[in-house]
Amino acid sequence: MKYKPNETRESEKGDFTVNRRRLLQAGGALIALPFISSKIANATSKALVSPSVARREERIVQTCSTFDCGGKCDVRVHLSQGTVTRISTRPDSALDEQMPVMRACVRGRAYRQFVYHPNRLKYPMLRVGKRGEGKFKRISWDEATTLIAEQMKRIGDTYGPAARFAHVATGVSGGSFSGDKMLKRLLNLTGGYLGYYHSVSMGNTAAATPYTYGVAASGSSLDTLSETKLVILWGHNPTETIFGHTNYFYKKMKENGTRFIVVDPRYSDTATSYADQWIPLLPTTDNAMMDAMMYVIVTENLHDKAFIERHTLGFDEQNMPEGVPANESLVAYLTGVKDGVVKTPEWAEKITKVPAQTIRQLARDYATTKPAALIQGWGPQRHICGERTARASTLLATITGNVGVKGGWAGGYGGIASRKFMTGIVQPQNPVKATISIMNWMQAVEDASKVRPEDGLKNADKLDTNIKMIFSLAGNYLANQNPDINKTIKLLEDESKVEFIVASDLFLTPSAKYADLLLPETSFMERWNIGETWGTGSYFMLSEKVIEPDFERRSDYEWLREVAAKMGVEAAFSEGRDEKQWVEYIVEQTRVTRPEENLPTFEQLQVQRQHLFKSAPHVAFEKNITDPQNNPFTTPSGKIEIFSKRLYDMQNPEIPALSHYVPATEGPEDKLIEKYPLQLITWKGKHRANSTQYANPWLQEVEPQTLWINPQDAKNRQIVQGDEVQIYNDRGVSRVPVEITSRIMPGVVAMRSGAWWNPDKDGVDRGGCANVLTSTRMTALAKGNSHQTLLVEVKKA
Amino acid sequence: MTNFVEFKPVSDKQLGFFIDSSLCSSCKACQVACKDKNDLEVGRRFRRIYSLTGGGFIDNGSGAYQNNVYSYNLSIACNHCDDPACVKNCPTTAMHKREGDGIVRVNTDKCIGCGYCSWSCPYGAPQMNKQTGQMSKCDFCVDLQAQGEPPVCVATCPLGAIKFGPIEELRKQYGVLSEVRGLPSSAITKPNLVIKAHSGAEEGVTNHA
């Protein structure tokens, strides 16, 4: 078949004409940099010292970033006369294959522009205009810490300690000794605060996975996949997200001949690097494809009967829990006994837009390749139906016997039980017992009486007070990363609701604009900490203070300690330790709790820089499978629960006992699609960690913010390459340049997440921040976020 | 103007780059590490990643989509060509190819910033330093090599998709391919470049769905 070449394809003749201009054209989107304002470009050259490698006398320090980035990669800082002059990374000779540390990625290589950026906050500042207007005046640290102490006391005394709230802090929460932990310590010591649960990154899958296995930690160490013949990456994009050292192992597997299939509406960079096959499907329809795969596997007799019989509950009618009526089993569901709908690939084709034959072949490949690993990323579970999708991957793994075997993968959340971490600081008890989902915080600001247990409130029947004080430490979740920004800022702007907002950050982020008191935080190069990786990596790395903070920048701990003194709890708060001593304390505590690890002392660590927790390869649930009598699963039945009686008893159509497809609100089967015919998804661009490093000019050059749209959808809207477009729904409007590409499937548009919201005078976002369009809708089971599920329309601006 | 610093040849054999385009994910760590090492402002990139996408979607007749989309990346700096167009077109001899290692450099003591090298290079390697009004380009990190270190792009790639060395050795190990869809004909300048092609760079490939 002949396809129409898309915009980045070469000449019609097939051969490249010898011409530099055409080469540039091929990378046209890379050449045009509409977002790089001259202001930033000028700032770049000023920000840099201009050393030549040959002239320098330098000291090289191995360190790592400690904001919430997935890698904790090896970053080597070249220091000359107290200034960072260059960054390098781990050489091949320092690679330990048993627990590899990744070389710094593009973000790690750009840190000089982050640390020396001229727009970094410099002094403590107090708001002078209306809240959110972004007008501040400089004050002293003494005034700032006095004010915080007074407000903490006043608000605690007036409304009760539950009126005090510490918001998500991804900019500081990636290290063992983080500002957010120490803030919570201070709050605990002064009466308490309203805590939250749920992770917006992976909270839905973490809540759903235990209904199958009893626990959430369903991941195996990646070294167990070395001989796996087939890997299906389902909404998993480690190449751009940087997920610990995943890429190291995937590359080795690729070289060993492992076949990779990538299921994703978008042809991600992970697909570019690894995919032998790319299967795009409509967002929120994952369950339909998974149901059809299970139908093929079961009806073609490809399921692992012995495994199912021995280890599972709920596969067919013969093996159901007590007290459940007939026709609720998986087989009954798949064959349509209950609802009359047979879950054939032809049924799923119409829902997913994936050809039936492709689904059929994928099911056969997965079921007949032994072992095979269906690895699900955290993108699909960030949908309104994400809990069901997470559980469906566990069911697929189960019926094919890929659970508990080397080279298989159990699906679901994927966290690895064998990983080791530092022993953290001991938190004093929080006198406030109630906790809310992070998705409840706006309601708790507006009217706390509406946050009931059925809405997500835990450990209490009701909340006694609205949130009146918010701390946001390097946390762009206050406005920017929170869904439905336009709704969020209305709440924040109302000074009668939240009475005092403290933000500490490196930059005036869109969230920091809503501060009453704005504090200039240090970067990881200007403070002591310990970095611990995400994903599958298991090691820690010293993050040393390598440069002195400029201007009046202070680490969160320093000013918190001053506030503690003004509130009369300094001794209990600091235990006499400065920042470096706390890091030393954490290292020493971990040495005590993990004697078998033979950890370096703090002195040794300053030479050794890192410690690799090396463990034997870990296959999740291996013991439960090899010796089920002595190692039952921690579910009520002691088995893998394909059918969950616990979910069944909730009697909520959004929480089926099996994992099956339910059309999503604001999905492709919602009537709203007539008004807003495109599904928008976001992805984590390689050039920032969530919204951190947004302001880095080198990284803006790497990937300018654009909307990806398929050529067919662009053509239908008379949109051509380079056009500015408006993306809109009832919640807001964002305006960015378009990128027409067949790397996104028809019917779906995509933007990089984490861009900074930048409203013009009409309220139209010019920054490409998808959260002016996302909804605050909560998932049924986890009371979690659904950032990925939304409908929009796109038109030429 | 910047002071031009000369280095002795770092090899007696022509050096070149190997790019594993089949593996390159376009992470652009090489691009940014190069900017960091060379203090390049936004707009100047001695190493650049070109992404090529092709294929598309058609309706399969049942309402679903069949696709043959492919995408791959080419990380390209200066290829330190055997027959460099930039050197041939330089009116002042500032652009020169060194004896021994064959590295192509700009002598900034001589460069008048006319830009002919930039216009003649099919790869876009020479780029104007607007601050000095002179040309600048990848010099194979000759200063690092003089200290026994690899070029920064090579030492950066998280997946090891960039290698360097005497071109004859690279060709022995990785083959002689130096042009794929997306690159100019190698006949023009005889680049010292070896590429492992991505499957998407092969004609007529339909490997999806």
Residue A413 lies in a domain: yes
Answer yes or no: do A233 and A309 share one domain.
Answer: yes
Answer yes or no: do A353 and A295 share one domain.
Answer: yes
Domain extent at residue A694: 671-796
Q: What does the pLDDT read at residue A1?
A: 33
Q: For residues A518 and A191, give the distance between their C-alpha atoms in angstroms, rounded to a whole number.
A: 24
> Given pLDDT bands bounded at 50, 70 and 90, which one contains residue B1?
low
pLDDT(B205) > 70: no
* Structure ipTM: 0.96
Q: Which residues of A touch B53 (CB under 8 A)?
A: 6, 8-9, 267, 741-743
Write out the DSSP string of A133-162: S--EEE--HHHHHHHHHHHHHHHHHHH-GG
Answer yes or no: do A784 and A753 share one domain.
Answer: yes
Answer yes or no: do A216 and A349 share one domain.
Answer: yes
Answer yes or no: do A377 and A285 share one domain.
Answer: yes
To test the contact with chain A by mutation, choose from B65, B76, B118 the residue with the greatest count of A C-beta atoms within 10 A, namely: B65
Q: Which residues of B touch A254 (CB under 8 A)?
A: 23
Q: For residues A186 and A427, give the distance between their C-alpha atoms in angstroms, rounded to a whole number.
A: 9
* Beta sheet of A529-532, edge-to-edge order: A529-532, A539-543, A610-612
Answer yes or no: do A368 and A247 share one domain.
Answer: yes
- How would you class A38 by CB atoms within 10 Å of its CB: exposed for 0-12, middle for 13-18, buried for 19 or more? exposed
Amino acid at A337: V
- Please tell me if residue A39 touches chain B, with a CB cutoff of 8 Å: no
Is residue A333 within a helix (H) or strand (E), and if so which, with residue range?
helix A330-334
Q: Which residues of B touch A742 (CB under 8 A)?
A: 53-57, 67, 69
pLDDT(B14) > 70: yes
Q: What does the pLDDT read at residue A171?
A: 84
Overall average pLDDT of the B1-7 stretch: 83
Sign of CA dihedral B56, B58, B60, B63: positive
Write out the DSSP string of B64-131: -EEE--EEEEEEE-----SS-HHHHT-SSS-EEE-TTT--EEE-TTT-----HHHHH-TT---EEETT
Q: What does the pLDDT read at residue A302?
A: 98
* Total tally of structural domains belonging to chain A: 2
Beta-sheet pairing, A724-729 with A732-740: antiparallel
Q: Which residues of A touch B183 (CB under 8 A)?
A: 16, 23
Residue of B nearest to A21 (CA): B122
- What pLDDT digit, counting tens, does each position of A155-174 carry? 999 999 999 999 999 888 88
Q: Which residues contact B61 (CB under 8 A, 6 or more apart)?
A: none
Report in angstroms the alpha-carbon separations of A741 from A267, A355, A712, B202: 10, 21, 9, 19
Report in angstroms the alpha-carbon separations of A234 from A261, A278, A298, A307, A456: 8, 10, 21, 24, 29
Rounded to a whole number, what is the distance in angstroms from the first to the last CA of chain A?
35
- Please tell me if residue A60 touches chain B, with a CB cutoff of 8 Å: no
Report in angstroms the alpha-carbon separations of A552 from A506, A522, A767: 12, 10, 29
Q: How far is A3 from chain B (nearest CA, A)?
A: 6
Q: Which residues of B touch A710 (CB under 8 A)?
A: 57
Q: Which residues contact A442 (CB under 8 A, 6 or more apart)?
A: A482, A487, A488, A491, A776
Which of A20, A108, A697 is the closest to B124 by Cβ? A20
Overall average pLDDT of the B130-153 stretch: 97
- Paired strand residues for A791: A679
Residue A588 lies in a domain: no
Q: What does the pLDDT read at residue A51?
A: 40
Answer yes or no: do A720 and A629 share one domain.
Answer: no
Residue A759 lies in a domain: yes
Region of A754 on the Ramachandran plot (φ > 0 left; ψ -120 to 50 alpha; else beta): left
Residue of B nearest to A279 (CA): B209
Q: ω into residue A124 within 30 of 0, thus cis?
A: no
Answer yes or no: do A675 and A644 share one domain.
Answer: no
- Paired strand residues for A505: A520
> Given pLDDT bands bounded at 50, 70 and 90, which one contains residue A491?
very high
The pair of three-digit structure tokens given for residue A158, joined into one six-digit string: 């007036």
Do the Cβ atoms of A411 and A396 come closer than 8 Å?
Answer: yes
Report in angstroms the alpha-carbon separations of A468 from A163, A492, A494, A666, B35: 5, 11, 11, 33, 46
Report in angstroms the alpha-carbon separations of A160 from A241, A443, A502, A567, A790: 40, 17, 18, 16, 37
Report the Cα A187 to chain-centroid distance in Å: 27
Q: Is B65–A745 a contact, with Cβ atoms under 8 angstroms apart?
A: yes
- Please tell me if residue A712 touches chain B, with a CB cutoff of 8 Å: yes
Q: pLDDT > 70: what percent of chain A? A: 93
Q: Is A30–B51 a contact, with Cβ atoms under 8 angstroms apart?
A: yes
Which of B29, B43, B66 is the closest to A355 by Cβ? B66
Which of B27, B124, B184 is the closest to A269 by Cβ? B27
- H helices of A160-304, in order, are 179-189, 203-208, 210-213, 238-241, 246-255, 269-274, 286-299
Residue B91 φ then ψ, to 5°? -75, -15
Q: For residues A411 and A147, give the distance between their C-alpha atoms in angstroms, rounded to a whole number.
A: 49
Q: Is B24–A273 a contact, with Cβ atoms under 8 angstroms apart?
A: yes
Answer yes or no: do A745 and A697 share one domain.
Answer: yes
Q: Which residues of B touch A280 (CB under 8 A)?
A: 65, 67, 209
Q: For residues A125 and A138, give the distance between their C-alpha atoms in angstroms, rounded to a whole number.
A: 4
Q: Is A54–B5 a contact, with Cβ atoms under 8 angstroms apart?
A: yes
Q: Is B26–A86 a contact, with Cβ atoms under 8 angstroms apart?
A: no
- H helices of A76-209, in order, are 106-109, 111-115, 141-159, 179-189, 203-208
pLDDT(A522) > 80: yes
- Residue with the two structure tokens 């019989």: A309
Is residue A345 within a helix (H) or strand (E), and if so which, with residue range?
helix A345-352
Report in angstroms the alpha-carbon separations of A306 from A409, A628, B22: 18, 13, 41
Q: Which residues of A touch B41 (CB under 8 A)?
A: 41, 44-45
- Residue with the two structure tokens 């080795």: A252
Residue A722 lies in a domain: yes
Q: Which residues of A touch B68 (CB under 8 A)?
A: 1, 3
Q: Please, which residues 426-465 of chain A have a Cβ atom closer than 8 Å to chain B?
A: none
Q: Which residues of B touch A713 (CB under 8 A)?
A: none
- Please tell me if residue A261 touches chain B, with a CB cutoff of 8 Å: no
Answer yes or no: do A244 and A357 share one domain.
Answer: yes
Residue of B nearest to A255 (CA): B23
Report in angstroms the alpha-carbon separations of A768 from A570, A621, A751, A752: 43, 43, 8, 8
pLDDT(A14) > 50: no
Answer yes or no: do A221 and A354 share one domain.
Answer: yes
Q: Which residues of B touch A263 (CB under 8 A)?
A: none
- What pLDDT digit, counting tens, does each position of A306-345 carry? 999 999 999 999 999 999 999 999 999 999 998 999 999 9
- What pLDDT digit, counting tens, does each position of A237-270 carry? 999 999 989 999 999 999 999 999 999 999 999 9
Residue A340 lies in a domain: yes
CB-defined contacts A:B, below 8 A: 232
Report the Cα B34 to chain-centroid distance in Å: 12
**A277-310 exposure pattern, b = at least 16 Cβ within 10 A, e = fewer:** bbbbbbbbbbbbbbbbbbbbbbbeebbbeebbee
Residue A256 lies in a domain: yes
Q: pLDDT > 90: what percent of chain A? A: 90
Compute the mean pLDDT over every residue in chain A, rounded to the nearest whole number: 92
Residue of A nearest to B34 (CA): A109
To test the contact with chain B by mutation, choose from A698, A716, A739 the residue with the greatest count of B C-beta atoms within 10 A, namely: A698
- Paired strand residues for B94: none
The pair of three-digit structure tokens given for residue A174, joined into one six-digit string: 């990636």
- Please tell me if residue A191 touches chain B, with a CB cutoff of 8 Å: no
Structural domains of chain B, with CATH: 15-55+67-196 (3.30.70.20)
Q: Is A273–B52 a contact, with Cβ atoms under 8 angstroms apart?
A: no
To test the contact with chain A by mutation, choose from B19, B27, B52, B79 the residue with the greatest count of A C-beta atoms within 10 A, namely: B27
Residue of B nearest to A352 (CA): B64
Which of B57, B155, B159 is the closest to A251 by Cβ? B159
Q: Which residues of B touch A110 (CB under 8 A)?
A: 32, 36
The larger pLDDT score, comparing residue A165 to residue A17, is at A165
Q: For residues A398 and A303, give the distance between their C-alpha atoms in angstroms, rounded to a whole number.
A: 9
To test the contact with chain A by mutation, choose from B5, B36, B157 the residue with the greatest count of A C-beta atoms within 10 A, namely: B36
A251 closest CA partner among B207, B119, B158: B158
Answer yes or no: do A637 and A727 share one domain.
Answer: no
- What pLDDT digit, counting tens, does each position of A339-397 carry? 999 999 999 999 999 999 999 999 999 999 999 999 999 999 999 999 999 999 999 99
B1 closest CA partner among B99, B69, B73, B94: B94
Sign of CA dihedral A454, A457, A462, A464: negative
Residue B90 φ then ψ, to 5°? -85, 120
Task: Return the axis-axis angle of helices A556-566 and A179-189, rounded to nearest 10°.
Answer: 10
- What pLDDT digit, counting tens, does each position of B29-51 carry? 999 999 999 999 999 999 999 99
To test the contact with chain A by mutation, choose from B23, B38, B42, B149 the residue with the greatest count of A C-beta atoms within 10 A, namely: B42
To test the contact with chain A by mutation, choose from B38, B69, B75, B179 the residue with the greatest count of A C-beta atoms within 10 A, namely: B69
Residue of B nearest to A95 (CA): B158
Q: For residues B23 and B49, give the distance between their C-alpha atoms in angstroms, rounded to a whole number.
A: 13
**CATH code, A774:** 2.40.40.20
